[in-house]
Amino acid sequence: MSDRIARFSALVAQQPENALFRFSYAQALEAAGTERHAEAIEHYRICVASRSDWMMPRILLGKLLLRTGDPAAARPVLEDALALAIAQDHQDPEVELRAILANL
């Protein structure tokens, strides 16, 4: 287990309600490789559920769902992220998300 995974795993265990710890943990799990993607998806989903205005976990969750072969699950997540990008005036993510969705 990488140091980053171990560090954030411990933090999540201590403070399971802390969405920022879960977000960092999900990123570390995703970076660890395909064998940890299911765990990363679980933690990204918790982050998405924790805040209706948090765009980044939606983007990363949607992209990871695509990489794991689940475009049907990815589409609504990416659509939500796009709506947030537009509402929050995040132009680069908006362009990226439009391109991803156009190719689904």
Kindly give the residue spans of alpha helices, DSSP state H, lying in 1-104: 3-14, 19-32, 37-50, 55-67, 71-87, 91-102
| pTM score, whole prediction | 0.94
Residue 92 CA to residue 97 CA, distance in Å, equals: 9
Going from N- to C-terminal start, the domains of the chain cover 3-102
Residue 77 CA to residue 33 CA, distance in Å, equals: 22
Q: What is the pLDDT of residues 12-70, one digit of tens each?
A: 999 999 999 999 999 999 999 889 999 999 999 999 999 999 999 999 999 999 999 99
Assigned fold of 3-102: 1.25.40
